[in-house]
Amino acid sequence: MLRRLAIRVMVLLVLTSGTVYVGWRWLFSVNWPNWWIALPLVLAETYSLIDAYLFGTTMWRLKERGEAPPPPAGATVDVFITTYNEPVEMVAATAAAARAIAHPHSTWVLDDGDRPEMRAACEELGVGYVTRSQDWADRPRHAKAGNLNNALFRTEGEFLLILDADQVPDPTILDRTLGWFTDPEVALVQTPQYFTNVTGSDPLGSQAPLFYGPIQQGKDGWNAAFFCGSNAVLRREALMQLGIVGYVRQVDDAVREALRTSGRILDRAARRSSRSDLATATAIRAVRAAVRQARSDLDGGAPVSEVTYAFQRELDVVSRSTVDRDVEAIRADLAALAAEHPVEEDEELGLPVIDEEAMARLAQREWSPLGAVASVRALVDSVDVHRHDEAQPMMPLATVSVTEDMATCMRLHGLGWRSVYHHEVLAHGLAPEDLQTMLQQRLRWSQGTLQVMLRENPLVQRGLSLGQRLMYFATMWSYLSGFAAVAYLAAPIVYLCFGVLPVKAYGLEFLSYFLPYVVLNQLLFFVVGYGVKTWRGHQYSLALFPLWIRACWTAAANVWFGKPLGFVVTPKTRPTGHRPFPWRLVWPQLLAMAALVVAVVIGVLRLVLDLSDSFIGTGVNTLWVAYDLLVLSVIIEAARFRAPEEERTVQEESA
Amino acid sequence: MNEYETQVHGGVTVVRAPDRLDMVAAPKLKQLVDRTVQEGDGRVVVDLGGTSFVDSSGLGALIGGLKTARQAGGDLRIAAAGEQVTMVLRLTNLDRILKPHPGVEDAARGW
């Protein structure tokens, strides 16, 4: 309680001093003649202030839950271990630990790689083995979300524990977490992700103690604890509801879209065919009338299922009347033939009879004459409720993003479900062990988060409370830091090298506004992150600026222009053999560091040669450069980092 | 849309039907057979070797063509019908009128 009070006081102080500082910047100290650097810098500072507000809001309701109640009696649980290409021994070790979980449950390995040796390992362990059903052939696979969705319909436990292939669970994981589900509105319990193959200094910044700690606890206070894809327990009923709601919405959208576009296409087809062929023109007009009827029924509020059923029946009628007309013509022709030139083959039997059964068959969808018009054929498939373009009609886990977790969680919250952050390490996993793998993983997360922000902006999602909207937005906002970082790196360089001032003066007035804000901000992090190492996270939010920027433009190009993301599954094993210093991965940061060092040298020279007269300006900017260098230095440490070479056992002995 | 190929073999005109002999393609086949019957001696073989699908309109065009040909003193035969076409002909009992010949050569023989 005292901690929460201290945090709240600090938040108020930081936000007050920050607002005063940034207000002073905009109103009195932007050096407009140098707007090309002055404006980016003040925008970057405003970005950071908004970030501080969002962080402050998160911390305001920090929630430390403590122990869960005892698990609900007779709870049934499926444990899902998702894998694609991880080593079989690693998955088997996780599966063996999952089998050993104390609470009654069934263990399933969800193998998207469909590997015989994985199946054999599962049989040997006596755990379930699930691969994609035939329905998924030639349809979108939706990566991990698709893998989980497939398994959801092959199992029946009331709750689902989801584990990545490397996350070895503690035997008590279910007993410790299931109790939160005694609240019938709870859909999700997330536990931290903790990595065992990480040294104390954690040069790759794998542990996320600020996120799996104060940030999740703060989000939890707003009923917005995030689902993070692994080490989480979900309520099947909630996921199924999500699947049904999503299914209904998507069918509704797809039907409306098909009816809307087909109207125009049918108009054109009718015009074209009426000149050459009366029969086709008649059929197309009848279909067009059915489309109009369906649209007006939908607009009038009729249920999609009824509208699509009526539409399909109407098409059947049109089809059947076309067949009837054709058969009538055939009969007339045959009669004319018989009158003039008796049919030789079967004179004693008379004319062949086309019976009702044959006519009905000719009118069915498969053989229908309406299939001749391609636009009608497409329409018949679209204006239906079975989602012929997807492997299964229901996709409980969101497929809108490469990271299924955040989108799924946001939709659960939108439906009114609650989530819980249980702050206790109950699974031990493996983090990437080299820079390249780590960068791929960060890129994927940030791309996924930004995809969700662009496709389903949390600020306007129905069903979310204001606090929840802000909690989702806060995470997305933090991924825009790359642009601010560029301004923070460029401003001191420009000042030290050329004396170009983005601020009217780096004098005592500047310091009197700036220092309280920056000092209080550091104190807030000290109070919030007391006892955990938050420095790595700070470093990476600035030092990975090229990656954050890349994530922004690839996600935007993907969502707006349908460009592929260049998505990769994060490997869980490290590459072997000699690896040289990865210049290719870190050159932008090295270039920035070199420029910063050169800038300080030039800045000092300018002061000595009397080209500059501001000691404070040079001093402030030199300190600023020192801070930038300190932050960026993590990337060199990370690039030089080599994981210890000794053979490491994958399976953890649980403590 | 579908352009039909026709060839003349010793007085017999061979018309090659399109992949889908359906409501859109049928009127053109009927027109083509009519014209062939007027211009030649009325013996037409419709080659269904490239046809994977026929609907009731396609059947109508074939029977209509047969009527035109017979009325002009000629005949229409079908050759090389595939699985679906054979099934539809059998279902409608029209195989008794339009006997499917295995190939174009067999159909043109014995006229």
Residue A627: pLDDT over 50: yes
pLDDT one-digit tens code per residue, B8-26: 777 788 999 999 999 888 9
pLDDT of residue A143: 87
Whether residue A330 is found in the same domain as residue A376: yes
Say if residues B23 and A281 touch (Cβ distance below 8 Å). Answer: no
φ, ψ (nearest 5 deg) of residue B60? -60, -40
pLDDT of residue A651: 40
Measured between alpha carbons, how far is A351 from A345 in angstroms, rounded to an integer? 10
**Candidate from A283, A336, A355 with C-beta closest to B23:** A283
pLDDT of residue A577: 61
Residues, chain A: 655
Q: Is residue B81 one of the residues assigned to a domain?
A: yes
Whether residue A632 is found in the same domain as residue A514: yes
Tell me, yes or no, if B72 comes closer than 8 A to chain A by beta carbon. no
Burial degree of A479 (CB within 10 A; 0-12, 13-18, 19+): buried
Residue A357: pLDDT over 70: yes
pLDDT of residue A223: 97
Mean pLDDT of A76-81: 98
Mean pLDDT of A256-273: 79
Say if residues A179 and A171 touch (Cβ distance below 8 Å). Answer: no
Whether residue A156 is found in the same domain as residue A203: yes
Whether residue A183 is found in the same domain as residue A269: no
Measured between alpha carbons, how far is A94 from A533 in angstroms, rounded to an integer? 28
pLDDT of residue A276: 62
**Candidate from A273, A322, A341 with C-beta closest to B70:** A341
Residue B94: pLDDT over 50: yes
**Candidate from A345, A358, A368 with C-beta closest to B55:** A368
Q: Is residue A268 one of the residues assigned to a domain?
A: yes
Instruction: Copy the structure tokens of residue A348.
Output: 């004693």
Interface touch B67/A322, C-beta < 8 Å: no
Q: Is residue A555 one of the residues assigned to a domain?
A: yes
Residue A580: pLDDT over 70: yes
Q: How confident is the model at residue A569 (pLDDT cuts 50, 70, 90)?
A: low
Whether residue A301 is found in the same domain as residue A343: yes
The C-alpha of A265 sits at a distance from chain B's nearest C-alpha, in angstroms, of 16
Which residue did the predictor score with more confidence, B49 or A278?
B49
CB neighbour burial string for A380-415, b if at least 16 within 10 angstroms, e if fewer: bebbbbebeebbbbbbbbbbbbbbbbbbbbbbbbbe
Q: Which of A105, A420, A518 lies closest to A526 in space, CA to CA?
A: A518
Mean pLDDT of A589-607: 95
pLDDT one-digit tens code per residue, A270-321: 777 766 677 788 888 888 899 899 999 989 988 888 888 888 888 889 899 9
Give the number of other Cβ atoms within 10 Å of residue A70's Cβ: 10
How many C-alpha atoms does B77 have within 13 Å on its Cβ side?
A: 21
Residue A565: pLDDT over 90: no
Tell me, yes or no, if B91 comes closer than 8 A to chain A by beta carbon. yes
pLDDT one-digit tens code per residue, A248-259: 888 888 888 888
Whether residue A254 is found in the same domain as residue A239: no
pLDDT one-digit tens code per residue, A492-531: 999 999 999 999 888 889 999 999 999 999 999 888 988 7
**Candidate from B24, B27, B59 with C-beta closest to A330:** B59
The C-alpha of B8 sits at a distance from chain A's nearest C-alpha, in angstroms, of 25
Q: Is residue B3 one of the residues assigned to a domain?
A: no
pLDDT of residue A392: 83
Tell me, yes or no, if B82 comes closer than 8 A to chain A by beta carbon. no
Residue A401: pLDDT over 80: no
Mean pLDDT of A80-104: 96
Measured between alpha carbons, how far is A116 from A111 in angstroms, rounded to an integer? 10
Distances (CA, A) of A488 to A45, A152, A365, A493, A617: 9, 47, 64, 9, 15
Whether residue A504 is found in the same domain as residue A609: yes
Residue A346: pLDDT over 60: no
pLDDT one-digit tens code per residue, A152-179: 999 999 999 999 999 999 999 999 999 9
The residue in chain A having the minimum alpha-carbon distance to the alpha carbon of residue B97 is: A345
Say if residues A288 and A252 touch (Cβ distance below 8 Å). Answer: no
Q: Is residue A442 one of the residues assigned to a domain?
A: no
Q: How confident is the model at residue A111 (pLDDT cuts 50, 70, 90)?
A: very high
Which residue did the predictor score with more confidence, B66 or B5?
B66
Tell me, yes or no, if B20 comes closer than 8 A to chain A by beta carbon. yes
Q: Which of A422, A426, A530, A527 lies closest to A66 in space, CA to CA?
A: A422
Say if residues A558 and A452 touch (Cβ distance below 8 Å). Answer: no
Q: How confident is the model at residue A603 (pLDDT cuts 50, 70, 90)?
A: very high
Angle at A131 between CA A125 and CA A137, to 5 degrees: 165
Residue A53: pLDDT over 90: yes
Question: Measured in whole angstroms, how far is the alpha carbon of residue A78 from the centre of its chain?
Answer: 24
Q: Is residue A66 one of the residues assigned to a domain?
A: no
Interface touch B27/A368, C-beta < 8 Å: no
Q: Is residue B97 one of the residues assigned to a domain?
A: yes
Domain count, chain B: 1
Measured between alpha carbons, how far is B101 from A151 in angstroms, rounded to an integer? 52
Whether residue A406 is found in the same domain as residue A268: no
- Identify all chain B residues contacting A340, using CB atoms and an 8 Å cutoff: 70-71
Q: Is residue B6 one of the residues assigned to a domain?
A: no
Look up the domain containing B40 and give its range. 13-108
**Alpha helices, H only, A479-569:** 481-498, 508-528, 535-543, 545-561
Whether residue A411 is found in the same domain as residue A507: no
Please name the residues in contact with A633: beta carbons below 8 A apart, sequence gap of 6 or more.
A539, A593
Beta bridge partners of A106: A78
Domain count, chain A: 3
pLDDT of residue A278: 78
Whether residue A331 is found in the same domain as residue A276: yes
Interface touch B24/A280, C-beta < 8 Å: yes
Look up the domain containing A410 and give its range. 77-244+401-436
DSSP tag of A503: B
- Identify all chain B residues contacting A358, using CB atoms and an 8 Å cutoff: 91-93
Measured between alpha carbons, how far is A370 from A364 in angstroms, rounded to an integer? 10
pLDDT of residue A570: 52
Mean pLDDT of chain A: 89
Q: Is residue A70 one of the residues assigned to a domain?
A: no
Tell me, yes or no, if B1 comes closer than 8 A to chain A by beta carbon. no
Q: Is residue A388 one of the residues assigned to a domain?
A: no
**Candidate from B27, B66, B71 with C-beta closest to A340:** B71
Least confident interval from A92-96, A140-144, A436-440, B37-41: B37-41
Mean pLDDT of A565-571: 59
Say if residues A312 and A384 touch (Cβ distance below 8 Å). Answer: yes
Whether residue A413 is found in the same domain as residue A529: no
Please name the residues in contact with A6: beta carbons below 8 A apart, sequence gap of 6 or more.
A527
Percentage of residues in chain A having pLDDT higher than 70: 94
pLDDT one-digit tens code per residue, A371-395: 877 777 777 777 777 777 788 888 8
Measured between alpha carbons, how far is A619 from A515 in angstroms, rounded to an integer? 14
**Candidate from B55, B64, B66 with C-beta closest to A367:** B55
Say if residues A482 and A590 touch (Cβ distance below 8 Å). Answer: no
Q: Which of A172, A175, A188 lies closest to A238 in space, CA to CA?
A: A188
Residue A654: pLDDT over 90: no
DSSP tag of A211: I
The residue in chain B having the minimum alpha-carbon distance to the alpha carbon of residue A329 is: B60
Residue A655: pLDDT over 50: no
Say if residues A412 and A226 touch (Cβ distance below 8 Å). Answer: no
- Identify all chain B residues contacting A354, using CB atoms and an 8 Å cutoff: 92-94
Residue A571: pLDDT over 70: no
Q: Is residue B5 one of the residues assigned to a domain?
A: no
Whether residue A501 is found in the same domain as residue A632: yes
Q: Determine the residue type at A371.
A: G
**Which CATH number goes with the domain that contains B24?**
3.30.750.24
Least confident interval from A144-153, A450-459, A577-586, B36-45: A577-586
The residue in chain A having the minimum alpha-carbon distance to the alpha carbon of residue B65 is: A333
- Identify all chain A residues contacting B83, using CB atoms and an 8 Å cutoff: none
The residue in chain B having the minimum alpha-carbon distance to the alpha carbon of residue A352 is: B93
Residue A343: pLDDT over 60: no
pLDDT of residue A646: 46
**Candidate from A340, A357, A372 with C-beta closest to B23:** A372
Distances (CA, A) of A349 to A183, A328, A352, A358: 78, 20, 8, 19
Interface touch A322/B56, C-beta < 8 Å: yes
Q: Is residue A654 one of the residues assigned to a domain?
A: no
Q: Which of A585, A189, A618, A149 lies closest to A419 in space, CA to CA?
A: A189
- Identify all chain B residues contacting A283, using CB atoms and an 8 Å cutoff: 23
pLDDT of residue A61: 96
Distances (CA, A) of A338 to A68, A87, A332, A333, B97: 88, 76, 10, 9, 11
How would DSSP label each residue in A559-590?
A: HHH-------PPPSS---S-----HHHHHHHH
Q: Is residue A470 one of the residues assigned to a domain?
A: no
